[in-house]
A = this chain, B = another copy of it.
């Protein structure tokens, strides 16, 4: 199954000229499967019916709802470093700021995961939630996505926005389940995806409530890592039940556990994996070990070929 589904011959099978819920999706097997699934699980006379309270959908963010070459959160880190050094020039002689300013990639290569975490902590913590939120808001108001030369807010995928709307129109609660840090994603989830802050699950730092200032301080220690096996755990902590619809993408194997977890629901389920195979309109990249596509083949998940399944890729400019 999987990629074999997306042969071009299938794209003339059916057309949805009237009331098409997914106009940015080409008419192929995957679009038909999504629509057929939704029709069945919302039909109260069907044995596949799912009560509204259990219509839970979870979506990864980077590479699933918007582009990830590079990760937007990496752009924010560079932005924060620049801003912090402007404010306090002495920082440019301190690591990890020094390595960023001097474009010293060896520093991060040699330092590995620890150097990256040090950089994330330096730019994301040691401030209150309110201060962090203001910094992220500033970033999004001006950030440009490299290579595409558009505001970062314009790198979301039009077919996925339609899919989120379609699910919600059919009684679903849509959640983001991201490896990114949760407040970063929350800052744009409502505007870009129509998903409120409280339906975003992500990686979190440690927090400390300051009783005298009545603020929450962001501390430089990780509390929950919401990636790979951490995603089902994040879902349990936040939602408390298995999603019946889950969508991720291939790149790092980060969504395999979430898709498996969804598939173990007692209800009929739907798993979707985005394959980045569109060098012309987006990017083409693959996992080293191909673990996500292998899992999709093994467990019968639907694999979206961006090239063939998506009529348009990015949202239109506002």
Contacts and interface: CB of A to CB of B under 8 A. Distances in A.
B207 A233 contact: yes
Contacts of A200: 240
A192 to B, nearest CB: 14
Given A204-B237, A216-B232, A211 B260 contact: yes
A266 to B, nearest CB: 9
A75 interface: no
A182 interface: yes
A183 B240 contact: yes
B240 A186 contact: yes
Nearest to A257: B209
A137 to B, nearest CB: 13
Interface residues of A, number: 39
Contacts of A208: 233
Interface in A189-242: 190, 196-200, 204, 207-209, 211, 214-216, 223-224, 229-230, 232-233, 236-241
A207 B240 contact: no
Residue from A129, A175, A204, A237 having most chain B Cβ neighbours under 10 A:
A237
A5 interface: no
Contacts of A170: none
Given A53-B196, A200-B240, A261 B209 contact: yes
Nearest to A200: B240
Contacts of A207: 233, 236-237
A264 interface: yes
B198 A239 contact: yes
Interface string A59-72: 00000000000000
Contacts of A211: 229, 257, 260
Given A190-B53, A209-B261, A257-B209, A129 B236 contact: yes
B129 A214 contact: no
B173 A214 contact: no
A227 to B, nearest CB: 12
Residue from A56, A175, A190, A233 having most chain B Cβ neighbours under 10 A:
A233
A211 B263 CA distance: 12
Interface in A225-283: 229-230, 232-233, 236-241, 257, 260-261, 263-264
Given A186-B240, A197-B239, A198-B241, 6 more contacts: A173-B198, A198-B239, A207-B237, A209-B261, A214-B260, A214-B261
Q: Which 4 A-B pairs have the closest CB atoms?
A: A197-B240, A214-B264, A209-B229, A198-B239
Interface of A: 53, 56, 129, 173, 175, 182-183, 186, 190, 196-200, 204, 207-209, 211, 214-216, 223-224, 229-230, 232-233, 236-241, 257, 260-261, 263-264
11 contacts: A56-B198, A129-B236, A173-B196, A173-B198, A198-B199, A198-B238, A207-B237, A209-B229, A209-B230, A209-B233, A211-B260
